[in-house]
Every structure is written in structure tokens, then in C-alpha cells.
Structure 1
Amino acid sequence: MAGYRIGVTSELRRPDGSLLFGDIGLHRLVDAGLEWELMPAVDGDVPPVELVARYDAVLAVGHLHFPRELVAAAPRLRHVARFGAGYDGIDLDGLAAEGVVVTNTPTAVRRPLAVAALTLLLAQAHRLAENHRAAVEGRWADRGRYRGAGVVGRTVGILGFGAVGAELAELLLPLGVRVVASNRSGTSPRAAELGVVMVPTERLAAESDYVVVTAALTPSSHHLVDEAFLAAMRPTAHLVNVARGGVVDQVALTAALAEGRLAGAALDVLDPEPPAADDPLLTMPDVVVTPHALCWTADFTREVSADVVQALLDVAHGRRPEHVLNPGAWDRRRG
């Protein structure tokens, strides 16, 4: 495959020059006769056509947007490979029409992201942020003031019951919780296997002690957790978001927390990212915020790296990769 060139988006490298995830196995591409290079940083969400047009494939480590008009003007491009599961900002139908295959790594992400969600849920259940602050500020007399609700006998609502949601339910059920869930279709064979009750979104909001957001960000899920959803939640309930910041109306969430209409929140994702330095969510005592990286464990890096490199190799050599997000593109693929 001499001359097959892969561009790796600039997010792979930190400002200090080190690699964000360390070695992700790009030597496998070179060993297979492919070329790769780190793309320059891009201003804005959409890379310039003249940059994308240089490559047969793009390994998208961050969240650049790939609209149809971009790839239509870059006829060399065959493949956009996402390092991770999310694909918001990528026009799947448009790229399929142009014959550009889009892949992601959902299997590798599933367990680390579910464990990250469980970590944040347990942090809320034990009021970890408030107890941490009491300890580091020397307020040992406040021991017992921040007693958590725990999880036994509580109801956890999983908003967006796909692969990650099902994995989370499997982790939660042995802890003695009741799990309810909702998704776009309203049904799930996996839910039936696990004993998870599928309910409408409004019922999930009303019944849950903890709501965990695992829904993909799409036009229909943007601000799925809105003012009405938050108003339906119990004032003792907590919100956990490990999906995308845009699934939650952050202004409405901030107001609900500030006014005591919600007990707390734990957020690995925000809108925008990074947040403004004066964002009130960063200083609220009942809120835990992490920088969209909580699932980035050693096993996450190893498995996602292996899957994304394999997808790049497969497409380059004419093999259908395992996780194609726009199947119609395979029949129309370029090259």
C-alpha cells in the first residue's frame, strides 16, 4: 500500500510534546507499508479541505467535525477512524453517500466507560467531594455531616441504554439497586436478560435516585436532559453524565443545583470543553467534575488503540472493518 497516507489529528500530542495516550501502536501501520503523520492543529471544529485532501484516512483522536461538503471536496479520503466511541460532528449519512467509511471502537470503550460511570455514581452516593473538602480543609469536626444516601435499595436510571448502559447495569445490579432505563426505541433485549425495566424518559426522571447519562449525542438527544427533565427529578436525586456535555442543558442543570432542586451532579463531560474558569459548576460543593478523561485507563488505551489501528489496516487493505458506523459507505467506498 505504498503511498497510502493517514493523518492523525493533533489532539494525540499534548502541548509539551508528549503523547496523550503514550504508544498507541502506530508502528503497525508502518510495518504494513502505510504512512502516517501528525496533522497540524486546527482552528475551529472543521479541518480545512486542503489539509484533509492530503490523506487517504484520518485517525480522529479528538472531536473534529466531518461534514459531507468537506469530504466531497477531498476525493482522496476513504476513511475516518474515531479513537473512541462518540461520533457527534461526523455526518454519517453524508459520508456514506460520498463513499467514506466511518469507524469507531465501541467494544473497547464499553467497560472502561461503564466503570467510570459507576465511579462517579459512587462518589455521589458517598458525597465524596464534600468529604474530601472537609478533610483537606481540616474540618474533621464535620465528620458525619456529609452522609451519603448509598446505593442499596436505590433506583438508578440509565438514560441511553446501549452497550455502555447495559454494561453499567450489569455492574450495578449486584450492589442491590433497582435499574430502570430508557432509549430511543423503548426496547432492549439486553434489558430483558438483565431484569432492567425499560420506562419512558419522564418516568425515569421521576423514579430515579441517580440518573446516569450514557446516550450518544445526536440532534434528537441534544439537551435531552432539559429544564423539564430536571424538574421531574427528585430534589434528593443526583445526575451523572459520562456521555457528551450537549446531552444536558448545562444552564438548566446549574440553576437546579444552585436552587436546591437537585442534590448533586458528577460530570465527566461538559458543554463547552474546557469550561470557562468562572463556571459555577467548578466550585459547587455537591458537584464532581473530571476533564472528559475518567475512562482513560491502561486497558482503555490498550484496547482502543488495537481496535482503531486494526480498522485503519482493514480499510487500507480492502477488508471490511468490524465497527462501521455508516454501512452504506462500504458499498460506495472510494479507491
Structure 2
Amino acid sequence: MRIVITDCDHETIEEELDVAAAHGVEVVQARCRSEDEVIEAARDADGILVQYAPVTDRVLEALPRLRAIGRYGVGVDTVDVDAATARRVAVSNVPDYGTEDVSDHAVALALALVRGVVQLDRGVRAGEHALTPVKPLHRVKELVFGVVGMGRIGAATAVKARALGFTVIGCDPHVPPRTEAEEGIEAVEFDALLERADVVSLHVPLDASTHHLVDDAALSRTKEGAVLVNTCRGGVVDTAAVVRALRSGRLKGAALDVFEEEPLPLDSPLVGLPNTVLTPHAAWYSEESYSELKRRTIENVVDVCAGRTPRNILNPEVLS
């Protein structure tokens, strides 16, 4: 069995090599960025592990031996799942490896905005000790925390925000509104959430229905002075629209861990705004999540190639 890691920006692949050795699997690491590079690197692979490299219908057509694709992470927007299914190639992800970590990060970012932590820190370092730049601040228990996307991570974020004292409401673009989510969080429609929430925290996958979900129109309905937190996918947010809302004061602040272009260019207008908190797609990370992600990604692919049902699979019909 031969598995090719098409691309991986992790420091090592020791976890993958340990799993491979335990199953007698050969692992080859490449550094692919384009379709052609994936085709060349994976020409004789039984399975591939993918981080950001494109796996399109053209790539799949050129890899008739391929049986399994493992995506490092939750989202699979770089993989054409429909094309893979048509060619009976199993696609796996690791949907729950970073649930605790991303929800922790989302809440941390929200608190940094709500309490003005980053702006106050910058002021002290510049010799300024006034509260004016962050006024008005309000008690957490007086604020409404809106969770957009009530999957694993969104639900975990909602529970943690409620424990801190926020009034929490939630919506899910993929699920019809209900009176109450399973976690006891009030469920509302998207527009109602925007109108009520002091914190809007995004936790949806990136697809055609969520691309630029937060755009000028959505921001015009957002409660004035609200803050935006994004730890899901950069493309869910229209960056230019958010910049306009931050400059106008419609948004009091934005805390973003993901961007439409990554890494975020230093000349991005987001960098120069005083009311932004920016982290480098780091919400997923802890030592525990890092190890789990790497191990489970290759285990899913090994299982498919060995004729077993993997723990996670997006198109189980290909195994029948």
C-alpha cells in the first residue's frame, strides 16, 4: 500500500510514519500546490493525504488507482467530493478533532473584543492609559452571543459562552429554525440573530450557500456596535465588506482567525485597523488536537485501502 502526502505544512510527519509502520504502509511526502503537481506525485498512490492542494475531477481522472483521500481537517472544500464519489474514491476528514480547541479560541477572541483586551494592551505599550478607545464596555451577562452554525464546534462554543454569562442564541443556515437547539440554546433565523447579537461567532462550513454569508447586506442588518468572530473559513466573510463596517463603526470590532487569502498579506487593510484581533489560522491547534488530526487522517485512508470502514467518511456509498 502506498500513500502520498500531497502537501502538509506541519513540522514533522512522525505521527503518520508511526501509523504507516504499524500497518506496513509506504508513505511519501510531496509539496504540491497545483493540479499537475498532485497528479505527478500521486500517480501510483493507493491513497493521498491532502491539506490545501486541489483534488479536482481532472486530478481524479488522472489517478485511476486512487482509492482514498484523507483531508487534514474538517472542511473538504479543496476536494471535489462529487467527482470522487462518481469514481468510487472514498473521502474522509476528521470532523471532531479540534472541537474543544476551536470553541476555546472563539470564546477567547470574543472576550478579547468584548473587554477591549487587545486595544488596551496596545495603548499601554504606547504609553496611553485611557479607556476612551474601548468605550463603551458592558458586562458579559448583559450581552447576547450569537452562534451561526450549530454543528459540533458551534454547539461547544454556545455552551462555553453561556457558562460565562452570555445570553446565547443560535442559527444554522443548513437547518430549519427550531424553538430550541439540543444544547438548550434558543434557535432563531439568521436575520434575527444579526439584529439581536452583540457577538456574532461564525461556525459554518464553506460551500456555495455560505460563501460571503457575511456581506454588506448582512452587516447592514447587524446590531450597531456588535463584534464579529470568525474561526471557520475565510470565504464565509466578505473581507471588503467587513473592513467597511469596521471603518464606519457599524462593527465595533472583528476577531478573525481565517482569511480569504492565507497567509494574510501584510498590506491587507485588516492589519492597519485598530479594532481587529488577528490570529494565523491557529484556532484548531493544541498539542492534543495536532496529534489526533495527523493520526486519524492517515488511519482513515489506511482503513479504506485495507478494505475496512474508516471512522470518518463523507461518501460511504463508495464502499458498498
TM over 0.5: yes
CA–CA distance in structure 1, aligned partners of residues 40 and 268 of structure 2: 36
Cα deviation for residue 145 of structure 1 reads 5.1
Residue of 6, 17, 23 corresponding to 1:26: 17
Any conservation in 1 of the 2:4–2:47 contact (CA below 8 Å)?
A: yes
Aligned amino acid, residue 195 of structure 2: A
| Alignment TM-score, normalising by the size of structure 2 | 0.93
Q: How does 1:298-317 map to 2 (within 5 A)?
A: 298-317=287-306
Aligned amino acid, residue 23 of structure 2: A
RMSD (Å) for aligned C-alpha atoms: 1.9
Alignment-derived partner of residue 123 in structure 1: 112
CA–CA distance in structure 1, aligned partners of residues 278 and 178 of structure 2: 30
What secondary structure does 1:53 align onto? coil
Alignment-derived partner of residue 9 in structure 2: 12
Residue of 280, 286, 289 corresponding to 1:291: 280
Establish whether residue 142 from structure 1 lines up as the match of residue 130 from structure 2: yes
Q: What residue ranges of structure 1 are gaps of 5+ in the alignment? A: none
CA–CA distance in structure 2, aligned partners of residues 150 and 76 of structure 1: 59
Residue of 153, 169, 179 corresponding to 1:164: 153
Aligned amino acid, residue 228 of structure 1: A
Q: What residue ranges of structure 2 are gaps of 5+ in the alignment? A: none
Establish whether residue 243 from structure 1 lines up as the match of residue 232 from structure 2: yes
Deviations 1:13-56 (A, max 9, x none): 5xxxx43xx743422212211000111342x4774423232311
Deviations 1:225-248 (A, max 9, x none): 111111111221000000111001
Any conservation in 1 of the 2:8–2:31 contact (CA below 8 Å)?
A: no
CA–CA distance in structure 1, aligned partners of residues 212 and 117 of structure 2: 27
Establish whether residue 50 from structure 1 lines up as the match of residue 40 from structure 2: yes
Aligned amino acid, residue 6 of structure 1: I
Establish whether residue 71 from structure 1 lines up as the match of residue 24 from structure 2: no
Distance 1:142 1:36, change over 3 A: same
Aligned amino acid, residue 9 of structure 1: T
Deviations 1:252-296 (A, max 9, x none): 111111111110000000111122221110121110011111331
CA–CA distance in structure 1, aligned partners of residues 36 and 238 of structure 2: 24
CA–CA distance in structure 2, aligned partners of residues 145 and 250 of structure 1: 23
What secondary structure does 2:65 align onto? coil
CA–CA distance in structure 1, aligned partners of residues 52 and 35 of structure 2: 8
Residue of 313, 317, 320 corresponding to 1:328: 317
What secondary structure does 1:266 align onto? strand
CA–CA distance in structure 2, aligned partners of residues 277 and 94 of structure 1: 36
Deviations 1:163-221 (A, max 9, x none): 111111121111122211111112579x5332212211111111100000110000111
Identity %: 31
Alignment-derived partner of residue 27 in structure 2: 36
Any conservation in 1 of the 2:15–2:295 contact (CA below 8 Å)?
A: yes
Number of corresponding residues = 318
CA–CA distance in structure 2, aligned partners of residues 24 and 138 of structure 1: 46
Distance 1:231 1:239, change over 3 A: same
Any conservation in 2 of the 1:45–1:63 contact (CA below 8 Å)?
A: no
Distance 1:272 1:185, change over 3 A: same
Q: How does 1:160-309 map to 2 (within 5 A)?
A: 160-183=149-172, 184-187=174-177, 192-309=181-298
| Alignment TM-score, normalising by the size of structure 1 | 0.89
